[in-house]
Structure 1
Amino acid sequence: MISETDVMQIIVYAGNAKSLAMNAIKEAKGGEIASAKKIFEESKQNLKVAHQHHTDILQKFASHPEEAANMFLTHAQDHMMAAITATDFTKEFIDLHEELQQLRILFKEDAKN
């Protein structure tokens, strides 16, 4: 049987992953690339835990096909998908801000010469 606690774990860890991803983007935007990368890694770890809980629930459904899905589980899956999207974009934003930071340094050096 799938408990509310099982489902809640997805919501908690996916929510953490999304929040951390957004914080990583904020850090990158502020030029703190190393900090952004560290926060992003923490985000990915939270997403991994959420995904494991989701996999565990899917295995329970496979073992007990008579079990009905509910809106709470649907809500949890929505949180997880939002977190996956956020982490996917976060990687791109960090890379973009890192490249912009490097370009700014190059332009400053060129301006000095």
Structure 2
Amino acid sequence: MNENDAQMQTIMGLIVNGGNAKSDSMEAIHAAKKGDFETAAAKLADADKSLIEAHHSQTAMLTQEASGDPVPVSLLMVHGQDHLMNAITFRDLAGEVVDMYKKIG
């Protein structure tokens, strides 16, 4: 695998795992809204696993940069970072919303 393919794989890790984390977070909210807190907790745990995987991708790029090998910035990479940051924010808020539904119920 050449360097460009490796970077593309890393970027796709950000996009796919960030998207999965956001989707699982939304599913957790929907489950909590229905009173299904067991599913909500499982979906939040799935979101956390996806965020860990996305962080591995991000850490790979940070490590490369820190070791003196610059990481080229592309629109796709910016998109991947945006996905990750939105997913982190969404996951945090989903946890709060699930907790709110528990208290209301």
Same structural fold, with TM-score higher than 0.5 when normalized by the shorter chain: yes
Mapped to 2, the partners of 1:32 and 1:98 lie a distance apart of 10
Are positions 1:55 and 2:21 aligned together? no
Amino acid at match of 1:22: M
Mapped to 1, the partners of 2:71 and 2:36 lie a distance apart of 47
Deviation at 1:71, TM superposition (A): 1.2
Number of aligned pairs? 101
Deviation at 1:65, TM superposition (A): 4.5
Deviation at 1:98, TM superposition (A): 0.5
Alignment TM-score, normalising by the size of structure 2: 0.89
- Correspondence 1:16-95 to 2 at 5 A: 16-95=20-99
Say if 2:11 and 2:76, in contact at 8 Å, map to a contact too.
yes
**Given the superposition, is the C-alpha separation of residues 33 and 12 from structure 1 closer, same or farther in structure 2, using an over 3 Å criterion?**
same
Give SS of 1:46's match.
Answer: helix
1:4 alignment partner in structure 2: 8
Amino acid at match of 1:98: K
Which residues of structure 2 form unaligned runs of 5+?
none
Give the alignment's Cα RMSD to 1 decimal: 1.3
Say if 2:28 and 2:94, in contact at 8 Å, map to a contact too.
yes
Deviations 1:51-110 (A, max 9, x none): 111011111122235443111111100000010011000110010000111xxxxxxxxx
Mapped to 2, the partners of 1:56 and 1:83 lie a distance apart of 19
Alignment TM-score, normalising by the size of structure 1: 0.83
